[in-house]
Structure 1
Amino acid sequence: MTDIPKTDSTKTGGAMGAFERYLTVWVALAMVVGIGIGTIAPGLVSAIAAAEVASINLVVAVLIWAMVYPMMVSVDFGAVAGVAKQPKGLLVTLAVNWLIKPFTMAFLAVLFFDYVFAPFIAPEDAAQYIAGLILLGAAPCTAMVFVWSQLTRGDATYTLVQVSVNDLIMVVAFAPIVAFLLGVTDIVVPWETLVLATVLYVVLPLLAGLATRRLLGSKDRIDAFTARIKPWSVVGLIATVMILFGLQGEVILQRPLLIALIAVPILIQSYGIFALAYGAAYVLRVPHRIAAPCAMIGTSNFFELAVAVAISLFGLNSGAALATVVGVLVEVPVMLSLVAFANRTRARFPEMSG
């Protein structure tokens, strides 16, 4: 059972508190329902898939926006300067995301598809899956980390700074790293995807959150409002899972063994990167409200960017595109398990000072 922070039942309602506590169960059901919808109502799924701009599905974007907005309301711009007093969390995030994660993903991809799984997969297919996994590893999370941060009671202001700095580095570092690891020098970065995702998932919710804080005025009113709307971010998460699994239901049912093989290095990478970042934050005595999100950013992936680049480089039906899609399917269950672990180990970290 996922250890989700309980909300005040007097503000959110006891039923919603129970709903949050059994989040893992609802997500599992959403996966099953999503696959079922994809099977019995392909027309509906096709309509949702068609609502896309720059490789970003607008229906999913709206749901992610709904998930991100509650945390943005909690962002206090007056406290941004305080981030400088806790630089260790930001340094861990950047070191793991850009000096370690892309290269460990490339190593695991080559290890499994050129060696461990070589008897089962043709070399030309293996090369495609390796490419897709490398694209995933080089694209750390932008939007969903706000959800994971909220579920671990992360510091909203610090999380925003972590994500913003990470995005700025991604603009200049993503293409060179991918080009180096793939051995391809003419990587075409879909800038419209990168820019649109940043605007949709960071800028607009942030502006909406700032406007809401100014409208509400007092801290008590802000706290009461966020307590009421935070549970609905969980509803958005479940609806997103249902849609993602509905969009990929056909490939899951037709190629389950291949999906499982691709998932193996992704799972090892995800848990390994989290352990590294979370462990480093523990050793450096980073407060839990910073440590949990900083580990989540590297573990989660900017799947829209990875999928878009895979399609542009290798084609819509390529093995590389499939590998990035498997990353999407694996992410939510993995991240929920890590949210549960982070919440259970909260007491081992120091409290936030100041």
Structure 2
Amino acid sequence: MTATHTRHETVAAKLSTLDRWLPAWIILAMVAGLLVGRMVPGLGDALSSVEVDGISLPIALGLLVMMYPVLAKVRYDRLDTVTGDRRLLIASLALNWIVGPALMFALAWLLLPDLPAYRTGLIIVGLARCIAMVIIWNDLACGDREAAAVLVALNSIFQVIAFAALGWFYLSTLPGWLGLEQSGLDVSAGQIAKSVLIFLGIPLLAGYLSRRVGEKRWGRAAYEEKFVPRIGPWALYGLLFTIVILFALQGDQITSRPSDVARIALPLLAYFAIMWGGGYALGKALGLTYERTTTLAFTAAGNNFELAIAVAIATFGAASGQALAGVVGPLIEVPVLVALVYVSLALRARFPHPVPSYAVEPR
């Protein structure tokens, strides 16, 4: 038996049943959400009746539950090792704020030249860099938790500063320069800052305080061996709950317009594959470890769908093509990035650095 095969078995043995069957649970959650949304009239209106920063309250709660356990696992005293890695930080900023938006703009115009509403919606998705689910994908793929925390925080800062300006550039200015049809985007930095504060700030603060208080009370070993395994499964429970509610809210739109969903899905599939593959190749070329290469790839490929949907609905309306494009985003992103988790784990043998044991604790 080879050493590589042994490592595969070791990692697989440490994964819980929930983790090993994650693709099946996610598919079931998506199907359940679609069916519930179609079979229960008025459910969408009921779920949307209470919102947090333009996001349905159940989705907001699901996101907070999803992010807290992973952020509670972060070793915050190690963040200086990430902030000192200029190769990682510069590569991430370039992929997220130069390559990502430009690639989505190009794919949207190339593959949806006759569908301006969907095209605009996809461009908005490309501008909304990931600050939530990427933490889950990174953790499942045994990426660097500390690096993920730093890159997500960095993306959040740039999101507040750059989202509105990039929206103006890619929807109005650049199309005008190229002689293409122009669109508009009405969103303020204050709106984005509030979204970031809610969906990243709250779970980040809770995770940091859990680590500080827990280590002070029990010590690091007890915190990581007893407390962390207890809260770990809640990240995936939150993920599955969020998926069910999200697709229940938009189930009617998705199932009643399958041909439109297929058209929107094509550029999204190309985008996720190119961004993840490009991030992975760049990390390898820069000589980053497996853990940081994985983190770079997933933070480049993921998108902040909750922000994209909220902006599309606020600007163009809940029944708009732009909103539908935002909703199709997670429909494609979730299964694709789950598949890439397994691709990433299969590729880790190509790196000389072993996966640290703390990265694959049972949930």
> Aligned partners of 2:76, 2:330: CA distance in 1, in Å?
32
SS at match of 2:353: coil
How many angstroms does 1:308 deviate by?
2.5
RMSD (Å) for aligned C-alpha atoms? 2.3
Paired residue for 2:288, among 286, 303, 306? 286
Amino acid at match of 2:117: Q
Gaps of 5+ in 2: 1-8, 174-182, 357-363
How many angstroms does 1:311 deviate by?
2.6
> Aligned partners of 1:74, 1:30: CA distance in 2, in Å?
26
Deviations 1:160-212 (A, max 9, x none): 11111111112222222221111169642244542233222222112212222
Corresponding position of 1:273: 275
Q: Please say if residues 55 and 193 of structure 1, whose CA atoms lie closer than 8 Å, have aligned partners that are also in contact.
A: no
> Aligned partners of 1:61, 1:285: CA distance in 2, in Å?
38
Q: Does 1:53 align with 2:52?
A: yes
Corresponding position of 1:212: 210
Corresponding position of 1:196: 194
Corresponding position of 1:178: 167
Deviations 1:278-315 (A, max 9, x none): 11001112112221122112211111222222233333
CA 1:44 to 1:348, structure 2 compared with 1: closer, same or farther past 3 Å?
same
Paired residue for 1:234, among 226, 236, 241? 236
Corresponding position of 2:92: 93
SS at match of 2:112: helix
Corresponding position of 1:103: 102
Paired residue for 1:341, among 330, 338, 343? 343
Matches within 5 A, 1:297-308: 297-308=299-310
Matches within 5 A, 1:1-354: 17-114=16-113, 123=114, 126-183=115-172, 187-217=185-215, 218-224=219-225, 225-351=227-353
Give the TM-score normalised by the residue count of structure 1. 0.88
Stretch moving more, 166-175 or 136-145: 166-175
How many angstroms does 1:350 deviate by?
4.0
SS at match of 2:261: helix
SS at match of 1:153: coil
SS at match of 2:111: helix
Deviations 1:14-40 (A, max 9, x none): xxx122201111111111111111122
Q: Please say if residues 75 and 156 of structure 1, whose CA atoms lie closer than 8 Å, have aligned partners that are also in contact.
A: yes
Q: Please say if residues 70 and 235 of structure 2, whose CA atoms lie closer than 8 Å, have aligned partners that are also in contact.
A: no
Q: Please say if residues 4 and 20 of structure 1, whose CA atoms lie closer than 8 Å, have aligned partners that are also in contact.
A: no
How many angstroms does 1:148 deviate by?
1.3
SS at match of 1:280: helix
How many angstroms does 1:7 deviate by?
7.4
> Aligned partners of 2:188, 2:258: CA distance in 1, in Å?
30
SS at match of 2:280: helix
Gaps of 5+ in 1: 10-16, 115-122
% identity of equivalent residues: 36
CA 1:4 to 1:258, structure 2 compared with 1: closer, same or farther past 3 Å?
farther
Q: Please say if residues 285 and 349 of structure 1, whose CA atoms lie closer than 8 Å, have aligned partners that are also in contact.
A: no
Give the TM-score normalised by the residue count of structure 2. 0.86
Q: Please say if residues 8 and 227 of structure 1, whose CA atoms lie closer than 8 Å, have aligned partners that are also in contact.
A: no
> Aligned partners of 2:214, 2:10: CA distance in 1, in Å?
27
> Aligned partners of 2:271, 2:70: CA distance in 1, in Å?
27
Q: Please say if residues 51 and 58 of structure 1, whose CA atoms lie closer than 8 Å, have aligned partners that are also in contact.
A: yes
SS at match of 1:248: helix
Corresponding position of 2:178: none
Corresponding position of 1:120: none
How many angstroms does 1:261 deviate by?
0.8
